Structure 1
Amino acid sequence: MRIYKVGGAVRDRLLGKPVTDIDWVVVGATTEEMLAKGFRPVGLDFPVFLHPKSGEEYALARTERKSGRGYGGFTFHASPEVTLEEDLIRRDLTINAMAEDDQQNLTDPYHGQRDLEARLLRHVSPAFAEDPLRVLRVARFAARYAALGFTVAPKTLELMRQLSESGELQALTAERSWKEISRALMEDQPQVFIEVLRACGALKELMPEVDALFGVPQPQAHHPEIDTGAHTLSVLEQAARHKQPLTVRWACLLHDLGKGLTPEEEWPRHIAHEFKGLKLIKAVNERFKAPKDCQELALLVGEYHTHSHRALELKPSTLLELLQSFDVYRRPQRFEEFIAACEMDARGRKGLEQRSYPQADYLRGAATAARSVAVQPLLEKGFKGPELGEAIKRERLKALKAYKETASF
């Protein structure tokens, strides 16, 4: 029995990056031997075990063979005869196909270290094209390591293009796709994830609504970058730069989908794009079974982001309707995330990345004013039921009028 550290732990150590998760592969062992040493089995499709003390994953060396469509369409074979090199060749990228023993002696049969130095994301073997999930994984790695100068090798990008055109991406489950998408959006340069997907034709297959934004012009006075797709990438880049959570980043990606529906003869204006985009946002949400908080924020940002940009001009009654839509009284955090997404939208414009966004503090102040209305005095006056609701609304409107008159923005 020989045990090796494999994959990301080896890659990140060589890159000088922090190693968080460690995966191990065991060569020359049987399931019975692992159980005898106290390892606990957890693998459903192939033998994976948890270490009795550390809880880290140890997998028996295995080979795999394509036997069906999609990410799950593989037959695995694990036995003591499977070599380390045979196990490594089934991995996606050369930089993930390295192993080291307890003395840090490197096993690198597919030149992963060379590709690390060349800053290349390169496939290990032609079998790369058998797993459609690898299109998303490579795009995610491109986003993770873009700051270090990594790019996708041309032949690997071509295999990703072939996978995109094969229809295999449609066999991916919503859960697997969302796992990769959500992780990619939380990388330092999530816009690169979208760029790589678009370069290999996968964006058109997975998110045609986002792909449709490229080549669609916007008014240059408001959007110096002009192209709606380029703007979306910039908004996503700003969201990462400002360390926004996943909910905000997802909303940033989808906020302008309605502009993809504007007839060419109406370009560069996009009348009512906020409302038109809601059905597209809903479709993307459902396709990937995004978490409820991500779905809700994306729809709200899509519908109301221009309200935020015009916040200082809104009538108190419109401002109250906006606050009611977000239920700022019981869910203040969601309104904060809305404001953040709108600020990223405003900053995601060429040359305007550093411009201040006074609307953010103005909206926060409005929410505070509306929340300051006390309910108890109204109850003491005898209001109840629907009448109480109307009385509260009147008092909140009064508070917002006073706020608007005194706010200095």
Structure 2
Amino acid sequence: MQIYKVGGAVRDRLLGKPVTDIDWVVVGATTEEMLAKGFRPVGADFPVFLHPKSGEEYALARTERKSGRGYGGFTFHASPEVTLEEDLIRRDLTINAMAEDDQQNLTDPYHGQRDLEARLLRHVSPAFAEDPLRVLRVARFAARYAGLGFTVAPETLELMRQLSESGELEALTAERSWKEISRALMEDQPQVFIQVLRECGALKVLMPEVDALFGVPQPEAHHPEIDTGVHTLSVLEQAARHKQSLTVRWACLLHDLGKGLTPKEEWPRHIAHEHKGLKLIKAVNERFKAPKDCQELALLVGEYHTHGHRALELKPSTLLELLQSFDVYRRPQRFEEFIAACEMDARGRKGLEQRSYPQADYLRGAATAARSIAVQPLLERGFKGPELGEAIKRERLKALKTYKEQA
């Protein structure tokens, strides 16, 4: 039995990055031998075990063969005869197909270290094209390591293009797709994830609503970058730079989808794009079964982001409706995330990345003013039921009028 550290732990050590998760591969062992040493089995499809003390994953060396469509369409074979090189060749990228023994001796049959130095994301073998999930994974790695100068090798991008055109991407489950998308959005440069998907044709398959934004112009006075797709990437870039949450980043990606529906004869204006985009945002949310908080914020930001930009001009009654829509009294955090998404939208414009956004503090102040209304005095005055609701609304409106006058 020989045990090797594999994959990301080896890659990140060689890159000088902190190693968090460690995966191990075991060569020359049987399931019975692993169980005898106290390892706990967890793999449903192939033999993976948890170490009895560390809890880290140990997998028996295995080969795989394509047997059906999609990410799950593989037959695995694990036995003591499977070599380390045979196990490594089934992996996605050369930089993920290296192994180390306990003396840090490197096994690198597919030149992963060379590609690390060349800053290339390159597939290990033609079998790469058998797994559609790898299109998303490579785009995610591109987003993670873009800051180090990594790019996708042209021949790998070509295989990704073939996969995108093959219909295999449609076989991906919503859960697997969302896992990759959500992880990619939380990388340092999530806009690179979208760029790479677009370059290989996967974006128009997975998110045609986002792909449709590229080439759609906006008024130059508000958007010096002009192109709506470019603007969306810039907003996503700002969201990452400002360490925003996944919910905010998802909303940033989808906020302008309505602009993709504007007839060409109306360009570069996009009247009522906020409302038009809601059905598209809903469709993308449902396609990937995004978590409820991501779905809700994306829809609210899509509908109200221009309200956020015009906050200082809004009438008190419109401001109150906005606050009610977000349920700021019971869910203050969601309104904070809305403000953050609006600010990222304002900053995601060429040359305006450092602009101030006074609307943020103004909206926070408005929410505080509306929340300051005490219900008890109204109850003591005999209001109840629907009448109480109307009385609270009147008092909140009064507070917002005062706030606007003093702001």
Aligned residue pairs, count? 407
Q: Find the aligned partners of 1:385 and 1:287 in 2 and give their Cα distance.
A: 40
Alpha-carbon shift at residue 276 of structure 1 (Å): 0.2
Instruction: Give the match's secondary structure for 2:318.
Output: helix
Q: Find the aligned partners of 1:89 and 1:206 in 2 and give their Cα distance.
A: 28
Q: Find the aligned partners of 1:315 and 1:147 in 2 and give their Cα distance.
A: 44
Alpha-carbon shift at residue 259 of structure 1 (Å): 0.1
Instruction: Give the match's secondary structure for 1:104.
Output: coil
Q: Find the aligned partners of 1:62 and 1:116 in 2 and give their Cα distance.
A: 25
Q: Find the aligned partners of 1:357 and 1:246 in 2 and give their Cα distance.
A: 21
Q: Find the aligned partners of 1:354 and 1:119 in 2 and give their Cα distance.
A: 30
Alpha-carbon shift at residue 218 of structure 1 (Å): 0.1
The one-character-per-residue Cα deviations of 1:111-131 (angstroms, maximum 9, x if unpaired) are 000000000000000000000
Please list, as runs of the form range in 1=range in 2, the aligned pairs for 1:314-333 lying within 5 A after superposition: 314-333=314-333
Instruction: Give the match's secondary structure for 2:170.
Output: helix
Q: Find the aligned partners of 2:356 and 2:149 in 1 and give their Cα distance.
A: 31
Alpha-carbon shift at residue 318 of structure 1 (Å): 0.1
Alpha-carbon shift at residue 40 of structure 1 (Å): 0.2
Alpha-carbon shift at residue 225 of structure 1 (Å): 0.1
Q: Find the aligned partners of 1:370 and 1:76 in 2 and give their Cα distance.
A: 60
Instruction: Give the match's secondary structure for 1:378.
Output: helix
TM-score by length of 1: 0.99
RMSD of equivalent CA atoms: 0.2
Alpha-carbon shift at residue 148 of structure 1 (Å): 0.2
TM-score by length of 2: 1.00
2:231 aligns with 231
Q: Find the aligned partners of 1:173 and 1:7 in 2 and give their Cα distance.
A: 24
Q: Find the aligned partners of 1:351 and 1:180 in 2 and give their Cα distance.
A: 31
Alpha-carbon shift at residue 332 of structure 1 (Å): 0.1
Q: Find the aligned partners of 1:228 and 1:133 in 2 and give their Cα distance.
A: 27
Instruction: Give the match's secondary structure for 1:58.
Output: strand
Alpha-carbon shift at residue 147 of structure 1 (Å): 0.2
Gaps spanning 5+ residues in structure 1: where?
A: none
The one-character-per-residue Cα deviations of 1:309-362 (angstroms, maximum 9, x if unpaired) are 000000000000000000000000000000000000000000000000000000
2:49 aligns with 49
1:380 aligns with 380
Alpha-carbon shift at residue 150 of structure 1 (Å): 0.1
1:349 aligns with 349
Q: Find the aligned partners of 1:2 and 1:260 in 2 and give their Cα distance.
A: 55
Please list, as runs of the form range in 1=range in 2, the aligned pairs for 1:90-109 lying within 5 A after superposition: 90-109=90-109
Alpha-carbon shift at residue 306 of structure 1 (Å): 0.1
Q: Find the aligned partners of 1:402 and 1:110 in 2 and give their Cα distance.
A: 69
Alpha-carbon shift at residue 381 of structure 1 (Å): 0.1
Alpha-carbon shift at residue 269 of structure 1 (Å): 0.2
Alpha-carbon shift at residue 277 of structure 1 (Å): 0.1
Please list, as runs of the form range in 1=range in 2, the aligned pairs for 1:172-251 lying within 5 A after superposition: 172-251=172-251
1:259 aligns with 259
Alpha-carbon shift at residue 235 of structure 1 (Å): 0.0
Identity of aligned residues (%): 96
Alpha-carbon shift at residue 152 of structure 1 (Å): 0.1
Q: Find the aligned partners of 1:75 and 1:283 in 2 and give their Cα distance.
A: 33
Alpha-carbon shift at residue 243 of structure 1 (Å): 0.1
Alpha-carbon shift at residue 301 of structure 1 (Å): 0.1
Q: Find the aligned partners of 2:59 and 2:211 in 1 and give their Cα distance.
A: 39
Alpha-carbon shift at residue 151 of structure 1 (Å): 0.1
Q: Find the aligned partners of 1:377 and 1:399 in 2 and give their Cα distance.
A: 15
Alpha-carbon shift at residue 272 of structure 1 (Å): 0.2
Alpha-carbon shift at residue 231 of structure 1 (Å): 0.1
Q: Find the aligned partners of 2:195 and 2:325 in 1 and give their Cα distance.
A: 34
Alpha-carbon shift at residue 155 of structure 1 (Å): 0.2
Q: Find the aligned partners of 1:269 and 1:394 in 2 and give their Cα distance.
A: 36
Q: Runs (4+) of structure 1 moved beyond 3 Å?
A: none
Alpha-carbon shift at residue 386 of structure 1 (Å): 0.1
The one-character-per-residue Cα deviations of 1:1-56 (angstroms, maximum 9, x if unpaired) are 00000000000000000000000000000000000000000000000000000000
